[in-house]
Structure 1
Amino acid sequence: MVRQEPHPSGEPAHTSPSDARDLLWEPPPVPAADLTPRTDWVVFAVAAVLTLAFVLWGAFAGGSLGAISDTLLGGLLHYGGWGFVLSASTFVVIALWLAFSKYGRITLGRDDEEPEYNTVSWISMLFATGMGIGMMFYGVAEPLTHYVSPPPGTGGGSGEQQAMTAMATTLFHWSLHPWAIYAVVGLAIAYGTYRRGRRQLISAAFIPLIGEKAADGPVGKLIDVLAIFATLFGSACSLGLGALQIAGGFQILGWVELATTGLLVGIIAALMACFLLSALSGVSKGIQWLSNINMVMAALLMVFILAVGPTVYILDLIPGTVGSYFQDFFSMAGRTDAAGGERTATWLATWTVFYWAWWISWTPFVGLFIGKISRGRTIRQFVAGVILVPSVVSLVWFTVLGGTAIDLQASGVDLASQGGIEEQLYGLLANFPWATAVSVLAALLVAIFFVTGADSASIVMGTLSQRGANDPRRPMTAFWGVLIAAVAAIMLVVGQGEGNALEGLQRITILVAAPWTIVMLLLCLSLLRDLRNDPLIMRSHKAREVVAAAVVTGAQVYDGEFRIDVSAADEKGSRRVGVEPVRGSRRAPNSEGDEGSGDGRTSRP
């Protein structure tokens, strides 16, 4: 907002900002992290009651739950599968556009604030979020499955072409798209918390769109309940995958003959007991220590396979995978059942749509985490780090494990037919030295991921239940942790009753993620509206207006021979900004025919 004041000659002499406070903005204080957590009983009660109802339904009428979820999934994929595909790519476009646009220089905090963590530590923590049960479960299985049974519309090539297609498809599912999905939610939370001083709630990020009153009212509470559901079922899916893989390890090691429902539930119960011991004792350093050990163990497993496996083939596969990924990017991003019919629809439900739903359901959890550790970063740094670092980790991880599996399959070792996909990691390890010890290490690795994942996800749900508290109360954390285990068990039981536990996990995850996808799209709209009114952007607009008006004034009044002058505030707090002639230049005559007594300055309080 500017004000133009006339020069005595009748020409505009000066343009100035209307209020200096607009240019000297400081963000409001962030809510204190150590405030006593206060439970939002509406959010907590609604989320808890509905979750318990789901658990009871699955426990006492699992058949009807399975039948209804199967019917709902069929309708959702037929009429709305395109929505998942289009939404995921929309999040990619938004994240990259924000990084390269004028908004990329906005700091997640004060303009002069330094990053809370140094770059090495920040990247290490991003690396930690890029690893998990999912990468252990699918590290061998996905590339191998796509190699043996190519995605619809890609078959018929040579073995080398099939390998490139398999690796590119896997990288498509684990690199740019999932981390862009996480980035938009993490950015909205970090920007609202550290730049605007709001609470760490998903509903608080909707204030620019629906207003503070609505965000604190029923609409905001509904958003937080949906966020809890998304986190709960997304985490339960991961824990279910972990239980399946640990049970598969027991079978490969000869400890059990069959992965029964009782065994899967028992694994979940045993690992949840470990989580409760951690949560109720408050040994946060112990969880952090376990997480660090987990990263080291995962790195050692990858290095071991790289060393004893087909090292040269793996290294050759890395650039080929990247090239195939970019070459096939748009065809993979646009794949829907409209092009391939029923076979493509089934494939999408098993892979792409399931993945997008899984990533979307994880966004409250991962988004809150990466938002918390990114204070002081610019939006450009945030997007680059959140997308690039985990994508590189995914590239290396899947190339090492998946490339080794493909090489073994091509050389005559039929890994693909050795049990379910949860057992294929152990089947691969059986072809190398110290197979039993390394398999035990892999099972232990999944177990620790289970415990630390449940710990982190339950803390996030506690935060959402207790008005954005940074450290929710331990009983609240333990409560949600137990429910994660219960939901994971029900999802497995429902699938196991129909002959495929993995399908049960995938089906319910997709259904729960559908409403959250709509919430995320609205969240992006709210974030964009918030950024348009960011003080840094507003100051830039004002600065351009002031300078442009001053240049016009100088050109008109002083015939182009002028300079812009800013003077100090006087004793009344006035500030003088204006243009004045360069010494010896010709001034424009004033309205009375004189040379002009003023210097073109105007002042404002």
Structure 2
Amino acid sequence: MNNMKQNDNRVFHISLIISILIVLWGIIGQSSFANFANSLLVFLTNNFGWAYLISMLIFVVFAIILAFSKYGNLKLGPDDSEPEYSNASWFAMLFGAGMGIGLVFWGVAEPLSHFVAPPGMEAGSVEAADFAMKSSFMHWGFHPWANYSIIGLALAYFQFRKDKPGLISSIFIPLFGEERVNGPIGKLIDILAVFATVAGVATSLGLGTLQINSGLNYLFNIPETALIQIIIILIITVITIWTAVSGIDKGIKILGDINLYIASGLLILVIILGPTLAIINNFTNGLGLYISDFIKDSLSISAFGDNSWVNNWRIFYWAWWIAWAPFVGSFIARISKGRTIKEFVGGVILAPALVSIIWFAAFGSLGLNLSDTVGLDTLSQAAQFPETALFKVFEYYPLTNILSFITVILLTTFFITSSNSATFVLGMFTSNGDLNPTNSKKFLWGVVQALLATALLLSGGLEALQTASVAAAFPFIFVMLLAMVSLMKAFRKENI
């Protein structure tokens, strides 16, 4: 136990030092940070795109097969354990942590981007519209949630059924043995998980800050400047730390429920006020294309042709989701005690993927529906600035200001939900897997996340943010593949 505590302190100190050094580099050497980030992005996407594609498909197949296997009825906890949270609260918390700001940020902007600049197709055509919806469904559907489920399922199993610490390294006890997991190998895995979490969440927080700023500019003429963005991060960080310190039952759960109600209300309003028939048809047609081309699109990368679209969109997304896997997976594990593996897979993959697809069908149709009204040039302009695209599109529909105001509120609650979940998980990771980390740890990580998001914004905006998530995610591919092997090794010892 003393050895574990010592290792835990090292994980905390090394992770904190790495995070602070990156923050300082981002603030002091803005141009060198951006140059390094760009070079790293090009290198990883050009040379290892195949690894992202194959791994993410493996995660989907593994999770689905496991749910319907003989292990599907295994409880994540003792055999007599029951879920701690209602289905609605459980879904609200996992969905808020897992997608957060990204849905609002890209709901209109991504389908528009594919529609006005589809690879190898005529912009604005019916084929481009089909491609836009299918690609958006792919990027926000089964793959990201299956990716979360790998870490979430493994950690919940070892945490609650085997009484191991809430650390990513605990997953590897069947593979490496307890002594090695408590030594340098386990320490390295936990440091990697902390760094991936901080970088991945900072990416999302940066995106959210830009969009909240653009929404405030649209509604109240508040300028879009670095100073305003820093103020936004500061205010949100104070609320984030307050809710994280309040704990899961008081702060995070209540905010997650509120978040779900606001998101549901906005979605229903958009379906009613928008082109309702087009939304329904886009959902139906897009879902058919998504399912029928699932395997082909999952592995689509050219050996000799131009992969710029795949690199800039799909590979970036897969890297982003993998960067989020340690944090979202750990948080989902923390709130999933007492559920069966089949129930876990259904709740973590199928349900949120379906909600995401409905979201993109609704918001994507808002933008695509304007092609005849405003023309492709106007839509192209909107797509170039994803942080303002949603507000620009709202201008052409009823209740513009009300929709925009609800969106800014939703962005803020999503922002806080993702951030406080991450703050809680980082506290766990750096407290020897303690399921209720100290308030001082949560406070410290809340501040570090805010500083990193600020540094990345100042050092090059979205491009630097994207690169940070890609870089943090890459080594975690191999951690997750090994996690599946370790989990299966542990399952074979169950009496089933």
Q: TM above 0.5, one fold?
A: yes
Counterpart-to-counterpart distance in 2, 1:393 and 1:313: 17
Counterpart-to-counterpart distance in 2, 1:207 and 1:283: 28
3-state secondary structure, aligned to 1:484: helix
Do residues 88 (structure 1) and 52 (structure 2) align?
no
- Structure 2 match to 1:363: 325
Do residues 245 (structure 1) and 207 (structure 2) align?
no
Instruction: Spell out, residue by residue over 1:502-524, the C-alpha distance to the aligned partner (whole angstroms, 9 max, x if none).
Output: 11111111011111112111111
Counterpart-to-counterpart distance in 1, 2:427 and 2:366: 41
Q: CA deviation at 1:125?
A: 4.3
Instruction: Spell out, residue by residue over 1:133-178, the C-alpha distance to the aligned partner (whole angstroms, 9 max, x if none).
Output: 010101111111111111x34x149833322211111000111100
One of 139, 149, 164 as aligned partner of 2:130: 164
Counterpart-to-counterpart distance in 1, 2:177 and 2:84: 30
Instruction: Spell out, residue by residue over 1:229-278, the C-alpha distance to the aligned partner (whole angstroms, 9 max, x if none).
Output: 11111111110110111122233336145x33333223212322332444
Note the 1:267-416 alignment, pairs <5 A: 267-279=232-244, 285-341=250-306, 344=307, 346-412=308-374, 414-416=378-380
- Structure 2 match to 1:458: 423
Preserved CA contact (<8 Å) 1:127 1:393: no
- RMSD of aligned C-alpha atoms? 2.3
Instruction: Spell out, residue by residue over 1:500-552, the C-alpha distance to the aligned partner (whole angstroms, 9 max, x if none).
Output: x2111111110111111121111111112111222x23xxxxxxxxxxxxxxx
3-state secondary structure, aligned to 1:165: helix
One of 28, 44, 47 as aligned partner of 1:76: 44
Preserved CA contact (<8 Å) 1:365 1:457: yes
Note the 1:178-189 alignment, pairs <5 A: 178-189=144-155
- Provide closer, same or farther for how the CA distance between residues 131 and 519 of structure 1 changes in structure 2, counting only shifts above 3 A: closer
- Structure 1 match to 2:471: 511
Identity over aligned residues, as a percent?
A: 41
Counting matched residue pairs gives: 490
Counterpart-to-counterpart distance in 2, 1:165 and 1:412: 21
Do residues 226 (structure 1) and 192 (structure 2) align?
yes
Counterpart-to-counterpart distance in 1, 2:361 and 2:110: 11
Letter of the aligned partner of 1:61 in structure 2?
G
> Which structure shows the higher strand fraction?
1
- Structure 2 match to 1:6: none
Counterpart-to-counterpart distance in 1, 2:124 and 2:415: 39
Preserved CA contact (<8 Å) 2:252 2:421: no
Q: CA deviation at 1:291?
A: 2.6
- Structure 2 match to 1:106: 74
Preserved CA contact (<8 Å) 1:271 1:447: yes
Q: RCO greater where, 1 or 2, for CA within 8 Å and sep 6 or more?
A: 2
TM-score, normalising length: structure 2: 0.93
Letter of the aligned partner of 1:233 in structure 2?
A
Letter of the aligned partner of 2:178 in structure 1?
E
Letter of the aligned partner of 1:402 in structure 2?
G
Do residues 487 (structure 1) and 452 (structure 2) align?
yes
One of 30, 37, 43 as aligned partner of 1:62: 30
Preserved CA contact (<8 Å) 1:409 1:416: no
Q: Which moved more, 1:505-514 or 1:429-438?
A: 429-438
Counterpart-to-counterpart distance in 2, 1:124 and 1:447: 15
- Structure 1 match to 2:484: 524
Note the 1:131-210 alignment, pairs <5 A: 131-150=99-118, 152-153=119-120, 155-156=121-122, 159-210=125-176
- Provide closer, same or farther for how the CA distance between residues 330 and 411 of structure 1 changes in structure 2, counting only shifts above 3 A: farther
Q: Which moved more, 1:159-168 or 1:331-340?
A: 331-340
Q: Which moved more, 1:74-83 or 1:277-286?
A: 277-286
3-state secondary structure, aligned to 2:71: helix
Counterpart-to-counterpart distance in 2, 1:166 and 1:210: 44
Q: CA deviation at 1:339?
A: 5.0
Preserved CA contact (<8 Å) 1:235 1:484: yes
Preserved CA contact (<8 Å) 2:168 2:189: yes
Instruction: Spell out, residue by residue over 1:364-396, the C-alpha distance to the aligned partner (whole angstroms, 9 max, x if none).
Output: 221122222322222222212211100110111
3-state secondary structure, aligned to 2:107: helix
Counterpart-to-counterpart distance in 2, 1:57 and 1:226: 19
Instruction: Spell out, residue by residue over 1:381-434, the C-alpha distance to the aligned partner (whole angstroms, 9 max, x if none).
Output: 221221110011011111111112111224335333136111011012112233
Letter of the aligned partner of 2:314 in structure 1?
T
- Provide closer, same or farther for how the CA distance between residues 438 and 212 of structure 1 changes in structure 2, counting only shifts above 3 A: same
Counterpart-to-counterpart distance in 1, 2:457 and 2:146: 29
Preserved CA contact (<8 Å) 1:148 1:416: yes
Q: CA deviation at 1:446?
A: 0.8
- Provide closer, same or farther for how the CA distance between residues 348 and 490 of structure 1 changes in structure 2, counting only shifts above 3 A: farther
3-state secondary structure, aligned to 2:108: helix
TM-score, normalising length: structure 1: 0.77
Do residues 427 (structure 1) and 389 (structure 2) align?
no
Letter of the aligned partner of 1:376 in structure 2?
G
Preserved CA contact (<8 Å) 2:206 2:453: yes
Unmatched 5+ residue regions in structure 1? 1-30, 32-36, 496-500, 538-605
Q: CA deviation at 1:279?
A: 4.5
